[in-house]
């Protein structure tokens, strides 16, 4: 029996991912794409997303956050010749784990001097692609700009005169790239860093700076690579007050679908669920088959959900397995019907994120494994 027939599931429309990808490529024709697929492909399922992106979109470089994510991806898709960058949790301080980069053909994004020393001073890593990430203002991870001369000397001391990929990370790409002083400053610092390496005789094969927010503003085209993540799954990365600065009209690639378990009329003040929460007004309550055990957190309380175009409000406490949605009395909703938490409507998806006081990608990432992912091409 198909998982979809068992109840709640996340439908992932791969054709929408393709449309988003093609829309991005029209704006960035000359840039290569390093597709960020961390956190299980932003909750959509890393294996299927990467397989589709490789086979149907021609993507050859992917980024994850942890060594564990990278190994899982390589093991499941060992026959596909793509590159995997590990961006943050490298585990280089454990010698037995650092050698996994060689075993699984992975690229560590080096952002700490200790890790760089391991790579430069261990002959085993002499052919490991050298990917360096500098801190130009994010102040999270990154090699220090003040130590760039020292790093150049260290590279030359072991005859490493080529950097496979030089990168940094923008801290305020959700703000205007052309006028925000921090964005302007980070871009200038990265430009100076590149010039410093080139002047020292260090070849830069690849460079990248732009994440989704910057790409929505057509920034950083001068680099060889771009690093889209959230935007390819449809949502915007722009701050609400600056959405007008974005050209992006991406399609939400997923739909979260569940079932109506029960329907009944209520009066104002009727007790509902745990704690006997008083019903805020008379209406029709639908009990849907998703709760915080599935990833519909208590933040959903008070959020607006729709059924056949009619707005309802999540009322009472969100349970582990079920959620109360209050509709106007007489709403056409029946036990056993399908119920969508979100569909392909980008505006409604972003509004749900706003109402639940969360970020767009959190809505999908927080879904648990109890919610099957179903992949289809329309």
Query: What structural domains and CATH numbers belong to the chain?
Result: 31-245 (3.20.20.10), 254-376 (2.40.37.10)
pLDDT at 94: 86
3-state class (DSSP) for residue 277: strand
SS3 state of residue 364: helix
Q: How far apart are CA 128 and CA 121, in angstroms?
A: 12
pLDDT tens per residue across all 378 residues of the chain = 565 567 899 999 999 999 999 999 999 999 999 999 999 999 999 999 999 999 999 999 999 999 999 999 999 999 999 999 999 999 988 888 989 999 999 999 999 999 999 999 999 999 999 999 999 999 999 999 999 999 999 999 999 999 999 999 999 999 999 999 999 999 999 999 999 999 999 999 999 999 999 999 999 999 999 999 999 999 999 988 999 999 999 999 999 999 999 999 999 999 999 999 999 999 999 999 999 999 999 999 999 999 999 999 999 999 999 999 999 999 999 999 999 999 988 889 999 999 999 988 899 999 999 999 999 998
Contacts of 315 (CB under 8 A, 6+ apart): 272, 277, 279, 280, 285, 301, 302, 324, 325, 326
Please compute, for residue 118, the number of CA atoms within 13 A of its CA located in the half-sphere on the CB side: 18
Residue in 193, 233, 238, 239 with CA at minimum distance from that of residue 215: 238
SS3 content of the chain, % helix, strand, coil (to 5): 35, 25, 40
Beta pairing partners, 254: 12
CA distance 37 to 18: 15
Cα distances (Å, whole numbers) of residue 24 to 20, 30, 89, 229, 250: 6, 11, 28, 12, 9
Q: Which of 50, 54, 44 is nearest to 72 (CA)?
A: 50
With contact defined as beta carbons under 8 Å apart, do 247 and 373 qualify?
A: no
Q: What is the pLDDT of residue 95?
A: 83
| Four-point Cα dihedral 37, 40, 43, 46, nearest 10 | 70
> In the chain, which residue ranges form alpha helices assigned H by DSSP?
14-27, 38-42, 46-57, 67-76, 95-98, 100-103, 113-121, 148-157, 181-199, 212-215, 346-355, 360-365
Q: Which tokens in the block code for residue 293?
A: 């055990």
Q: How far is Cα 108 from Cα 106, in angstroms, rounded to an integer? A: 6
In this prediction, residue 345 carries a pLDDT of 86
Report the alpha-carbon angle 368-371-377, nearest 5.
Answer: 125
Question: Which residues are within 8 A (CB) of 200 and not within 5 positions of it... i.e. 6 or more apart?
Answer: 152, 156
Burial 283-303 (b: 16+ CB within 10 A, else e): bbbbbbbbbbebbbeebbbeb
In this structure, is the dihedral angle defined by the CA atoms of residues 25, 27, 30 and 35, taken in order, positive or negative?
negative
């Amino acid at each position: 029996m198909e998982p979809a027939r068992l109840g709640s599931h996340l439908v992932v429309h791969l054709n929408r991912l393709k449309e988003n990808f093609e829309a991005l490529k029209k704006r960035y024709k000359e840039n290569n794409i390093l597709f960020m697929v961390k956190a299980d492909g932003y909750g959509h399922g890393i294996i299927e997303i990467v397989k589709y992106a490789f086979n149907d979109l021609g993507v050859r470089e992917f980024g994850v956050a942890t060594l564990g994510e990278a190994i899982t991806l390589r093991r499941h898709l060992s026959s596909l010749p793509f590159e995997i960058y590990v961006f943050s949790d490298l585990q280089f301080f454990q010698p037995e784990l650092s050698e996994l980069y060689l075993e699984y053909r992975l690229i560590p994004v080096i952002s700490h001097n200790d890790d760089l020393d391991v790579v430069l001073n261990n002959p085993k890593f002499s052919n490991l692609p050298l990917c360096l990430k500098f801190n130009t203002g994010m102040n999270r991870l990154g090699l220090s700009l003040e130590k760039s001369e020292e790093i150049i000397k260290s590279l030359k001391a072991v005859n490493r005169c080529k950097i496979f990929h030089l990168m940094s990370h923008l801290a305020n790409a959700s703000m205007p790239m052309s006028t925000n002083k921090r964005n302007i400053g980070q871009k200038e610092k990265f430009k100076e860093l590149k010039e410093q390496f080139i002047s020292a005789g260090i070849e830069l094969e690849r460079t990248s700076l732009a994440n989704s927010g910057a790409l929505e503003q057509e920034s950083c085209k001068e680099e060889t690579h771009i690093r889209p993540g959230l935007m390819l799954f449809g949502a915007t990365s722009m701050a609400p007050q600056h959405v007008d600065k974005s050209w992006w009209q991406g399609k939400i690639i997923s739909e979260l679908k569940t079932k109506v378990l029960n329907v009944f009329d209520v009066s104002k003040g009727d007790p509902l669920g745990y704690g006997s929460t008083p019903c805020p007004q008379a209406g029709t309550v639908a009990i849907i088959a998703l709760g915080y055990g599935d990833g519909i957190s208590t933040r959903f309380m008070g959020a607006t959900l729709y059924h056949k175009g009619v707005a309802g409000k999540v009322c009472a406490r969100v349970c582990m397995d079920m959620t109360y949605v209050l509709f106007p009395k007489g709403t056409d909703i029946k036990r056993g019907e399908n119920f969508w938490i979100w569909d392909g409507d980008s505006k409604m998806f972003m509004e749900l994120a706003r109402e639940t006081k969360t970020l767009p990608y959190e809505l999908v990432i927080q879904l648990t494994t109890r919610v099957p992912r179903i992949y289809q091409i329309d």
